[in-house]
Structure 1
Amino acid sequence: MMKRNVLALALASGLCFTAGIQATPVDAGAPAGGPAAAPGTSNDQATPAPAQSTSTDQSANKDDKSKQTQDQQLAKSLATITVSGYNQSMEKSIDYQRYADTIQNVITSADIGGLPDQSIADALTRLPGVSAERIAGQASQINIRGLSGNFIQTTLDGREQPSTSGSNYIQFDQYPSELINMATVYKSSQASLITGGVGGTIALETADPLQAPKEQNLNVDARGSYDGTAHDVPGANALGYRLSAAYQGKFLDNTLGIGLGVAQMYQPHVAEQFVGEASDGSSYKINSSPNSPSAYLPEGIQLQQNGGEERRTGEIATIVWKPTNELKITGDGFYSKFTNDSFGYGLRSQNFYGNNTQITNPVYSSLGTLIGGTVASNPATGIDPRTGSAYSNQFSNETTADNYSTNTSVFSGGLNLKWDHDRWHIDADLSLSRASSNEINVDTTADPYSGLGTANPQLMPQSVTYQLRGSNIGTAQFGNPGLYTNLNDMALSRYGVYPYIYHDKMKAFRTSVKYDMLNSSWLSALEAGIYMNNHNYAADREAYVYGSEWNTSPVAGEPPLTIPASDASVTCWKGKFSGFPCFLTLNGPGILAAHGITANPVKDINANSWTYIQSGTVDEKTRDLFFMADLDAQVFGHELTGNAGIRVSHQSQYSSGLQQVGNGAGIPITDGNGYTSYDYAPLTVGKTYTDYLPSLNLIYHLTDDDQVRFSAARVLSRPPIDKMLAGAGSWVSNPGVGAQYNVWGGTSPLLDPLRASQYDLDYEHYFEDSSGAVTAGVFFKDVKSFVQDVTYNNYDFAAAGITVPINPATGQPYINGEYQTAYNAQGGLVKGLELSGSKTHFLPGIWSGLGVDANFALTDSTVRNPTNLGGPTTYVGLPGLSKRVASAAVFYDYGPFSARLSGNYRSSFLSDTQIAVTNQLVTFAAETVYDFQASYDITKQLSVVYQMLNLSNQPTRTYFGGNPQQTGTIQYFGRTNYLGINLKL
């Protein structure tokens, strides 16, 4: 007897083919949703499957017939969905959820392809307990049940996906929604799922051309976009477009299927932002007066305009060959390239802390951290009583020109074989997936100088009066604003290029064998399988630096560079930011070229040794084995279904990098500038481990429309791969006989996986004809550890495989000192409640096409993370956890017209995706994002589509230390409007 959800997938696959903007109509001659083929029957025809194969009809008992009737009810339920648009999408999703063995939520092709979102991430946020982090205004990293993307496993057509993020989490804006046929979020686990989903597993699927409704199918979509915020950012383009085309064809009497698809996007990258920078967690005298108070000080504030453009091209190709009714071979490949040409221009008041300024009229937050006042340069001469040293002037209102341009790509492809013979089912898959990311990361600063052109130019005295205003745009006024647009006073102080380059590659093989248990009173099938994955990760850091910030550490032969008029233009603020001081938009490469200089970033072991320390490779090898039994029985007069199994996961993780040993005790290394060092030695460190991961999923069917689910499992996620790099820098303290060897790096190949025990209990009620559902559930996760940074004292380096160099004073290894690394900090509990409800066809007549869909999730955790970015050390929550997440939508389908108004809300949450020099742990403020989408079918082949995304121009707001007074970033991205057409042939 086939397992219920397997049959459901087979049946529904005929329903869910769509790769364009709207669901392709079902061919009247081959109704989608027909019963799945039994062994010996073609899946490509709408022929009803026999109740049992002839070899087993004689021995079928009453329980078997009951089970078959339930499967027929499922087939009938799917086949009776005749509505279109959002109603069809929701009703299909309900059936997938209803008949699944695991607790899961589904988005079908009519929902994704019907009126596609910016990316698949936007579509996923409609599901209960699923939320997204908006990066540069777009939903990117997904959070599930309060856990960040590093706790989420993602597959495409069953293949584990590599990442372009530089860590484990997937950037979902890499995946065009037009090319994804279905997305499933698994919230409970089962033995056959690939490990990695402590938070959940997201399974993306592409279309099977043999399931297309017609012999030949072509969908073409074209739409233009408009973002009015671009008018406030000089050089930005307000217009964009999206183009997609998908072809599906069936040949050779429906035994050969070919699918081709392409989706292209061009859109402006525009934003305006006000930034309050972080504290270093130290208290300083705010000025040099004898009675000066001490306070926690931020590094500074920023005003910046972001512009540029984003281009994404996604391509997919699939060929399916089914030479017999039992054998099916599929070869397919997915490729996506995303180019984000992003620049940032503006002003940055820098270096408030470190006794570098004089602060008057201070305003403090409730944490005692400066959030307003007048900040001015130190006096030009004299002794600073705070330090006992001569005054130094390291404060400036810098003019900045940054470049964050990134090129990323993902490829995922492979060969799949499925063989079904009588009771036996074999599935084998061989795949190759790879991802790459290259961010250029340019930081250009210019400052006002006196004595430009002389041998000793001096930074001019300056001041700024500012005030943070919590979640609103703050204020900033400069003492002499005319300085910053006067080319006679301004000069380029520093030009730095710091590329981040990542490569992520996976070679995998998985296979499973399943045997149907037709005569068992408890079991419907037994299944076993293996999974092997060789995962290779490489991080490369490079650098090029001209000059020094504020020219406070002058480099010989690298004075401040005068700015040609052709490489600067005066820019003034508009809109919400009008009133801030005007500034110069700088062409950094042009300024260097005017002085005969070309930037050439390379690995630099002399001035920027971190480029070697933060580079390296990580090699993971996964070897998994699983066993699973599918359950189908009668208990106390009601049906009990589900599965029970165990997955045995063996992992090997090793990293190769460079360790700074000093004293010339390393090997000769010549960097890209020709400098040779003998202070670094290669090292390879790692570990192996094996986990036993049992799982149980039970569904108790109270009535035909009511059921209760219980799930329990042990699960794990691999440590963030960038935190497993082996490279480390070092320093020696207490020189002499008692000298100590200390290591810094913040990473460790010895991290344990993030293990958890999890439990779920759900109640589900389904309305007649799949017209809606009401569900309520609770979940509980006991996460054993989280990865955090730590400093160990008197660390035993030798025991960890880290070489300790010889102390020349003693002829023996240095004494063990500090080790700044990553470790598995104590975990905690994550628990929550999820409610959802949906209904269609609850009104008569013309309003019968009205539908509603809403969900709410309440999540809490005992985990607290320390942070001093807001000043004094405070404790904030678990990254990715919003206590409240909700979404609601009202949609309407009537004849040729479809429309949807939706809103997604999430309360404040913690994340480390805000980047300064390194990633910062900040709190994202609560937000609600509204979208509107509508379409009208002019003919059966041609329709027009309109969308407005982010209706209320909801900004992204962050703050430090869990204190909303301590502004992090306030960033406005604007509304995006789309208007276009869809052609179906």
Structure 2
Amino acid sequence: MVLKRNVLALALASAGLCFSLGVHATPADNNANPGSASVSSNAPAPDQQSIDTQSQTTTQTTTVPSDNTAPKKANEKAELAKSLDTITVTGYSKSAETAVDIQRYADTIQNVVTAADIGGLPDQSIADALTRLPGVTAERIGGQASQINCNGLSGNFIQTTLDGRVQPSTSGTNYIQFDEYPSELINQATVYKSQQANLIEGGVGCSIAMKTANPLDAKQEQTVNVDMRGSFNNQANDVYGTNTQGYRFSAAWQGKFLNDTLGVGLGFARMQQPHVSEQFVGEAFDGLQTINSSGQQAYPSQGVQVQQNGGSEQRNGYLATLVWRPNDNLQLGANGFFSQYNDGSFGRGFRGQLFDQGQAQITNPVLLPNGAVVGGTVTSNATPDNFGLETTADNYTTNSSVFSGGLNAKWNSGPWTVVADASMSRAVSSEINVDTTADPYNGLGTATPSLMSQSLTYGLNGLNVGTLTVPNPGIYTNLGDMALSRYGVYPYVYHDVDKGLRLETTYELSSNPVFSAIEGGVYINNHTYNADRSAYVYGSEWGDAKTTPLALNSSDAVTTCWSGNFGGFPCFLALNGPAILAANGVTNTTPLKSWANNWTYIQSGQVDVKSRDAYLMGDIDTNLFDHSVTGNIGVRVVRTSQYSSGLQEVDNNEGVPITDQTGVTSSDYMPVNQGKSYTDVLPSINLTFHFDDANQLRFSAAQVMAPPPISSLLAGHGAWEANGQYNLWSNTSPLLDPMYANQFDLSFEHYFDQSSGAFTAHVYTKHIESFVEQIQYNDFNFAGAGITVPIDPTTGKPYLNGEYQTSYNDTQGGTVHGMDVYYTKTHFLPGVWSGLGVSAGVSLDQSAVKTESTLSGPPQNQGLPGLSKKSATAALFYDNGTFSAQLSGNYRSSFVSDSQMSVNNQIVYFAPETVFDLQTAYNFTKHVSILLQFLNLTNQPTRTYFGNTQQTGTIQYFGMTTYLGFKINL
């Protein structure tokens, strides 16, 4: 029998490896343990106990989280019980040891964050907790972790679920903004680094599965948890209109009724905090041009900005769970999660613009060896006279919400387990995006005011705050000189809806020499995305003939100065744009779609993506050379249909009559609906070779896919005609293909006795067949691509093919490869120090993928967005049941992203950063504790640059936040 198993296992491994190289493969998400991607956190686990999200500070025996899959293999259960029953642990140690056991007995390569880690001393959001895992990094937006990067890839390559349900996005594209998810409401998060057939496709970088608690798995009949803490930001005093104080409050209740057959859970979490950022911005560099009257050639910057970014943020999270388990064979559940995030963000300060294109004179320029101008004196040109130093009041206030909920049923009898899950998830995001500018004028109050000639001297200072001075700073705070030139509202509104139905079944095999179970299922998903643009504009910039400057007064324009690192900048007027307009009789500022701003129609539209999935997977449990081999082999088949509706500009009345929201009718546009359908076959294999109880080697191979960014699928196109040619712009295309990859993972894992820690070393390679990029085609064959070409009235024939600005799948693709090493250990010291634990991880990632950028002036190659060549995480924690503390730090080297803070998002480099947090708690009793936290302990800024570190992008300081509060567990 042993020989037979060895031969069969070797054949299976060889066949699976060859199979995984053949077609296109799948990633996505599941719950905490691999087995059934569709089962929500409410699925039963009669042989295990889940973690109570809020009870980490009391002493208790470590238990295993609920397993949402078919029953575990007998030998795994025995080993797990043996490892967990011998010690008693609390807090951080409990979290670390539970995560170790989940990882140890999984069929995939994964890392886990459990409730004690998240809820014991809550992070700002689930994003902060995830960054303590190896290979997982975050981009800080507004000072806190938001977009997650994984295995060297950006958030657009990550699939995310909550309780097995695909999560919609508030970002306007594919990546999830994880700061929407309060850590207090999440029981567990799993990062799947290898893929298997029952995971929903999408996770080329990784798949992240968040999970909420099942109240029937709570240890007590009734539990109540209350957490309240006040906060203080030490930089908020430097930012106009920002309160230094805030608070966080959470409350959770779980109850079991009807002889523990009915479980109810309710949770609420609120965060109120200041929005704080002081920023110095160097804008992108332009092409080679003459910069002054001396005929000097160089690459000038487009401008500089300095802003106080302030306001307040409020996030409210709600969770409700109902579970009924009338017998051991049936469980029915319903749950819903809702998070509402209101970020009131205002940017006030100066913007010096139009240093380039002959619109200003740059004297005494400071040049880098590449010819980029990083300093000098900028003065107004006689003609054109567009350069100026504007006082700005930008409103970035964003209101967003995420809902995810559904119904779940699980039935098991004998070898059969059947799961059904129906879900609906919805995200809505609305950013007001107001741009207000005021300028100094001559002749205010007369019939012919004119913009003053201005001058400034600036200097970029690499990764530090630069300089900006003016010869006459008094005019910028003088109400007699300054007036509002322009008030523009350009909202970004997104709706993202996912509706899913999942049916799965598992059949346990009792005596098969290779397979322990066969799984199969279908998944039906409808994804609808809407982008809605509009605009309202009063006046114009730079003092042209259309500008009617509006007077300011001391109540709507308040003199504001700088301090700290920004103390050398001139004072400015903090403008209240709506109040200024109202004081001057302008009250109707509703943004609308209009043909005058036809981009409001072109960039609006709807995308519908329908996917129909089926998978078949065999769970492996066999022997090879007298050693246990476990894992799975399977295939997922995905049928996708993607179509987008929008408007194409055809001009010359070649379209259909459409009346805009201002009442103007145009026949220059026609509705279009474009798209495609395709089928992918995605095989995968996961094998774990168990050397002994403590050591194992994992191998995984899969073909995976990530959908194109959904915002890039919009069908709208704007047009212009020149030289008898028809030209289109949009930078989007509904004909994009997914981003496919072949990936291979190998991991060695050593587990210490009594689940007290682990050492893992993971290497991977991903060959990505194509990336979605923007391109400009010349003489593009529009008719061949199914795009209507209008008639040229001068010839009576269709226009000639011209320029096409669109998105496409590049044909080169590229490889991403890397490794991560992770170590965690508890109980390595005796006596009172037994509560001490450590964790540390290092990740190295490489890719030869490059894209050309001209944002730094001379063309240069930029790396792959989201990839840091080096990243590290470390934590030192202590918990003795009465006192607990954790000092954690996260480092990542430079990386490329499109989160540059400027007039538009720009793909730039982020400088290396290290962020430290300190969290402590003291338990007066097992029911009452106090806590103290310090987040961003060293006030680490985010810093970006344009390829050369001397070419400053954005330098932002957010301050350190201190929390002090209490916690009650009943």
TM over 0.5: yes
Q: In structure 1, how many angstroms separate the alpha carbons of the residues matched to 2:354 and 2:389?
A: 9
1:912 to 1:691, Cα distance in 2 relative to 1, 3 A: same
Alignment partner of 1:132: what SS? strand
Whether 1:880 and 2:885 are equivalent positions in the alignment is no
Matches within 5 A, 1:846-857: 846-857=832-843
CA contact (8 A) 1:602 1:671 kept: no
CA distance in 2, matches of 1:96, 1:237: 43
CA distance in 2, matches of 1:12, 1:96: 17
Assess, with a 3 A threshold, how the Cα gap between structure 1 residues 923 and 35 changes in structure 2: closer, same or farther: closer
What secondary structure is seen at the aligned counterpart in 2 of 1:919? Answer: coil
Partner of 1:626: 615
Q: d(CA) in 1 for partners of 2:463 and 2:48?
A: 49
Choose from 942, 948, 952 the match for 1:967: 952
Q: Which residue of 2 aligns with 1:383?
A: none
1:456-495 equivalences in 2 (<5 Å): 456-495=448-487
Question: Residue 84 in 1 paired to residue 70 in 2?
Answer: no
> Is this contact kept in 2: 1:107–1:123, CA < 8 A?
yes
Q: Which letter maps to 2:938?
A: S
Q: Are 2:105 and 1:99 equivalent residues in the alignment?
A: yes
Aligned to 1:386: none
- Residues 632-653 of structure 1, C-alpha deviations (whole Å, 9 max, x = no match): 0011010000000000011100
AA partner of residue 733 (structure 2): S
Instruction: Give the Cα–Cα distance (whole angstroms) in 2 for the partners of residues 237 and 693 of structure 1.
Output: 52
Q: Secondary structure at the match of 2:172?
A: coil
Q: Secondary structure at the match of 1:88?
A: helix
1:283 aligns with 2:288: yes
Q: Give the direction of change, closer, same or farther, for the CA distance of 1:36–1:918 in structure 2 (3 Å limit).
A: closer
Report deviation, 1:22. 3.8
Q: Whole-Å Cα distance in 2 between the matches of residues 908 and 706 of structure 1?
A: 35
> Number of residue pairs matched?
933
Q: Shift in Å at residue 24 of structure 1?
A: 6.2
2:503 aligned with 1:511, yes or no? yes
**Residue 435 (structure 2) pairs with residue 446 (structure 1):** no
Aligned with 1:151 (options 151, 154, 157): 157
Query: Residue 147 of structure 2 contacts residue 178 of structure 2 at CA under 8 Å; is this kept in 1?
Result: yes
Instruction: Describe the superposition over 1:778-822 as per-residue Cα deviations: whole angstroms up to 9, x where unpaired.
Output: 100000111111011121212222111111122221111111000
Residue in 2 that maps onto 1:398: 390
**Maintained 8 Å contact 1:629/1:644:** yes
Question: Does structure 2 retain, via aligned residues, the 8 Å contact 1:21–1:116?
Answer: no
Rounded Cα–Cα distance in structure 2 between residues aligned with 1:669 and 1:5: 52
Q: How many angstroms apart in 2 are the aligned matches of 1:814 and 1:152?
A: 42
Please tell me whether residue 752 in structure 1 is matched to residue 727 in structure 2: no
User: How big is the shift at 1:453?
Assistant: 2.4
Look up the match of 2:922: 936
1:420 corresponds to 2:412: yes
8 A Cα contact 1:81 1:92, kept in partner: no
Q: CA deviation at 1:120?
A: 0.1
1:246 CA displacement:
0.5
Which one of the candidate residues 325, 330, 343 is aligned to 2:328?
325
**Match of 1:184?**
190
Deviations 1:295-317 (A, max 9, x none): 11111111100110000000000
Q: Which has the higher contact order (CA 8 A, sep 6+)?
A: 2
Cα distance, 1:602 vs structure 2: 3.2
Comparing 763-772 and 790-799, the one that deviates more: 790-799
Deviation of the 1:595 alpha carbon: 1.1
Q: How far off its partner does 1:253 sit? A: 0.5
- After superposition, residues 367-406 of structure 1 pair within 5 angstroms as 367-379=370-382, 391-406=383-398
Aligned partner letter, 1:96: I
Alignment partner, residue 358 of structure 2 = 355
Q: Structure 2 unaligned segments of length 5 or more: list them.
A: 1-31
> Offset at 1:768?
0.5
For 1:255 and 1:15, locate their aligned partners in 2 and report how far apart those are by CA, in whole Å: 15
* Alignment match of 1:611 (pick from 597, 600, 614): 600
CA–CA distance in structure 2, aligned partners of residues 37 and 670 of structure 1: 54
Three-state SS of the structure 2 residue aligned to 1:780 is strand
Of 52, 71, 88, the match for 1:18: 52
Counterpart of 1:678 (choices 667, 686, 705) is 667
1:295 aligns with one of 272, 294, 298: 298
Corresponding residue number in structure 1 for 2:589: 600
Distance 1:602 1:572 in 2: 32
RMSD: 1.9
SS of the residue corresponding to residue 900 of structure 2 reads strand
Kindly state the Cα deviation for residue 74 of structure 1 after the two structures are TM-superposed.
1.4
Secondary structure of 1:914's partner?
Answer: coil
Q: TM-score normalized by structure 1?
A: 0.93
Q: Which runs of 5+ in 1 are unaligned?
A: 40-48, 52-66, 380-390
CA distance in 1, matches of 2:69, 2:46: 15
* Structure 1 residues 775 and 623: CA distance shift in structure 2, 3 A: same
Which of residues 692, 700, 712 is equivalent to 1:711?
700
Structure 1 residue 80: Cα displacement: 4.0
Counterpart of 1:235?
241
Distance in 2 of aligned mates of 1:14 and 1:266: 37
Distance in 1 (CA, whole Å) between partners of 2:87 and 2:733 is 53
The Cα shift of 1:36 comes to 8.2
The Cα of 1:692 is off from its aligned counterpart by 0.6
C-alpha distance in 1 between matches for 2:949 and 2:64: 52
Contact 1:936 1:943 (C-alpha < 8 Å) held by counterparts: yes
Does structure 2 retain, via aligned residues, the 8 Å contact 1:900–1:934? yes
Aligned to 1:62: none
CA distance in 1 between counterparts of 2:579 and 2:368 reads 42
CA deviation after TM superposition for structure 1 residue 984, in Å: 0.7
Q: Deviations over 1:562-589 (max 9, x none)?
A: 1122211110101111121000011111
8 Å contact kept, 2:230–2:963? yes
AA partner of residue 377 (structure 2): T
Structure 2 vs 1, CA of residues 915 and 121 (structure 1 numbering), >3 Å: closer, same or farther?
A: same
Work out whether residues 910 and 945 of structure 2, in 8 Å CA contact, stay in contact via their aligned partners in 1: yes
The AA in structure 1 aligned to 2:842 is F
Higher mean alpha-carbon deviation, 788-797 vs 131-140, is at 788-797
* Structure 2 residue corresponding to 1:802, chosen from 787, 790, 805: 787
Quick check: 2:745–2:765 contact (8 Å CA) kept in 1? Answer: yes
Match of 1:408 in 2: 400
Is structure 2 residue 121 aligned with structure 1 residue 139?
no
* Distance in structure 2 (CA, Å) of the matches to 1:222 and 1:236: 22
Q: 2: distance between equivalents of 1:362 and 1:34?
A: 63
| Aligned pairs for 1:722-741 within 5 A | 722-734=711-723, 739-741=724-726
Report whether the alignment pairs 1:947 with 2:933: yes
Shift of residue 20, structure 1, vs aligned partner: 3.5
Distance 2:290 2:63 in 1: 74
1:75 aligns with 81
Aligned residue number for residue 127 of structure 1: 133
CA apart distance, 1:14:
5.1
SS of the equivalent of 1:964 reads: strand
Distance change in 2, residues 1:660/1:648 (3 Å) = same
Aligned ranges 1:125-274 → 2 under 5 Å: 125-274=131-280
CA distance in structure 2 between the aligned counterparts of 1:34 and 1:831, rounded to whole angstroms: 32
Per the alignment, residue 778 of structure 1 pairs with 763
What CA deviation, in whole Å up to 9, does each residue of 1:665-689 have, x standing for no partner? Answer: 1122222222221111100000011
Distance in structure 1 (CA, Å) of the matches to 2:945 and 2:370:
13
- Kindly indicate whether the alpha-carbon contact (under 8 Å) linking 2:614 and 2:637 is maintained by their aligned counterparts in 1: yes
Q: 1:277 to 1:971 in 2, by over 3 A?
A: same
Instruction: Give secondary structure in 1 for the equivalent of 2:299.
Output: strand
Partner residue in 2 for 1:528: 520
Please state how far the C-alpha of 1:479 moved relative to its aligned partner: 1.7
2:452 and 2:861 mapped to 1: Cα distance? Answer: 40
